[in-house]
């Protein structure tokens, strides 16, 4: 609410968002961002793919709202390659070398550039 208080929706608190509505909004926002991008997507693809109804997979909530916030917090401020994994930065050739786990080799650490 405008006062900052939680209001239980008409759905008796069974879900946060209506899945059909969420699918429509997600689809519209996705298409809008694609159109703003530099990608050259043929109109035929837009007509074929985006002319269909989309279904957004929405799971039942797990645990509590506090847990969800803590869970998301672990990932929203995480970077793809943390500083301790960077081995070398080659400014001349514009390359970065970093360590990673090769799961095809039982998780052995390897350097990737």
pLDDT of residue 68: 79
- The pTM score is 0.44
Residue 11's pLDDT is 67
pLDDT of residue 76: 79
Question: Residue 50 has which token pair?
Answer: 């985006």
Angstrom distance (rounded) from CA 25 to CA 42: 22
- pLDDT at position 14 is 66
Tokens of 57: 């997979």
Positions of the chain with pLDDT under 50: none
CA distance 1 to 19: 21
Q: Which residues, listed in sequence order, are joined to residue 99 by a DSSP beta bridge?
A: 111
pLDDT, residue 110, reads: 96
Per-chain mean pLDDT for the chain: 84
Every domain of the chain and the residues it spans: 19-76, 83-112
What is the per-residue pLDDT for 91? Answer: 93
């Amino acid at each position: 609410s405008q006062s900052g208080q939680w209001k239980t929706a008409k759905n008796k608190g069974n879900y946060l968002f209506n899945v059909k509505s969420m699918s429509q909004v997600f689809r519209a926002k996705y298409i809008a961002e694609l159109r703003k991008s530099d990608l050259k997507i043929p109109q035929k693809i837009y007509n074929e793919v985006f002319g269909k109804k989309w279904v957004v997979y929405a799971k039942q909530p797990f645990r509590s709202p506090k847990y969800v916030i803590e869970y998301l917090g672990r990932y929203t401020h995480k970077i793809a390659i943390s500083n301790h994994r960077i081995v070398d930065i080659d400014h001349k050739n514009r390359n970065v070398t970093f360590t990673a786990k090769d799961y095809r080799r039982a998780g052995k650490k390897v350097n990737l550039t």
